[in-house]
A and B are shown apart, each in its own frame.
Chain A
Amino acid sequence: MNYHLKSSVHRPRRRFRFVLLFVVAVVAFVFVAPPAFLTRLAHTGAMPLWRAGDSVRDLGAAVSAVSLSKQELLQRNQALEEQLQSMQLAVLDRNLLREENRELKEMLRRVDEEEVVLARVLTKPNRSVYDTLIIDAGTEHGVVVGDHVLAGDRVVIGEVARVFGKSAVVSLFSSPGQQFDVEVGTTGISETAEGRGGGNFAVNVPRDVAVTVGDTIVAPGISDEIFGTVEELYVEPASSFKTILFKSPVNIFELRFVGVVIHGSIEIIEAE
């Protein structure tokens, strides 16, 4: 019986074709974003599973709460009540000032007519390296790309990067390399801040600017949106600038709900 010997003549050509195909695919990938219909389809399929995961987590939390002893629960309750009382006192003058601020803006005809849509956070930023959240509000709720996203009342954490019918992908301002304008405390100085990941940011200001730890970093303009508070200051002896490290007051990994400001307008500077 005769067998054909395997020829290795065509092997390099086949390998070259494979490499060429691979290179073309890579180059194509670099320039093409994921098609919207694919993401919409994936979100539609994944949303019931994410919701089920949330329900399981809630159930787990309820079960663990039941397993706590009565004494432990009483102690926690007391600590929380004390915390609540001190918070209520701290918030009293804040509400007063906010009302005053609103009235002043009204007098000067600068009232912000903004609508906030509540959305549930479906995934945390650690699911991928893109540092994004997925929320359950989309075009059906009036959300568009560029709307900014708030945690709590006035803390701005990101902007809508992609939007679909019932979901949206939120890109966080604290993502490494993300750049945007901020106003430093009450100095009125506007500078470009940069995300450092995990709710941390950095901004360089002239050395002489009076900034202290605990100062607030806000969005430029007349809105009262907060990015964070100053945590640390670094001054290089030979430099004419100092670096302010500031942190968002919210823990992004513990967020369950966010607010989407319909047609918000924080300008993002494209990273070079």
Chain B
Amino acid sequence: MPHRRLFANIFLILSVLYFPWWVTTAFVVVCLFLFTGMYEVVFYGLLIDVLYGAHNSVGEGFVWVFTLSYLVALVFISYIRKSILM
């Protein structure tokens, strides 16, 4: 299990650097369902925002789209997981 999580993290880093954002986001959602308390995803959201973000009109100048989205996904999916497992 720890190995799987490590590989998932390596793939997520590569995904942030080389793949379109929707691939990364889809993989983040899958990881959140597969692993318990995967708080790292917020870091990957932060990484996307820090690397590519710019105060342009996209997102009305809001440059934390991914950090916030992944944080919300983390809370929401963790809640769903908990409800399913209980």
Contact = CB atoms under 8 A, between A and B. Distances in A.
B27 to A, nearest CB: 14
A157 to B, nearest CB: 13
A29 B67 contact: yes
B67 A130 contact: no
A130 B54 contact: yes
Contacts of A46: 17, 51
B76 interface: no
A195 B56 CA distance: 12
Contacts of B49: 34, 128
**Chain A interface main SS type:** mixed
A128 B53 contact: yes
A16 to B, nearest CB: 15
Interface residues of B, number: 27
16 contacts: A29-B62, A29-B64, A34-B53, A42-B51, A123-B51, A123-B52, A126-B20, A127-B51, A128-B53, A129-B58, A130-B59, A130-B65, A132-B52, A134-B51, A161-B54, A175-B56
Given A50-B17, A130-B59, A179-B57, 20 more contacts: A29-B64, A39-B53, A49-B17, A126-B20, A128-B48, A129-B66, A130-B52, A130-B65, A131-B58, A132-B53, A132-B54, A161-B55, A161-B56, A169-B53, A175-B56, A175-B58, A177-B58, A178-B56, A178-B58, A195-B57
Interface of A: 26, 29-30, 33-34, 38-39, 42-43, 46, 49-50, 53, 123, 126-132, 134, 161-162, 169, 171, 175-179, 195, 270-271
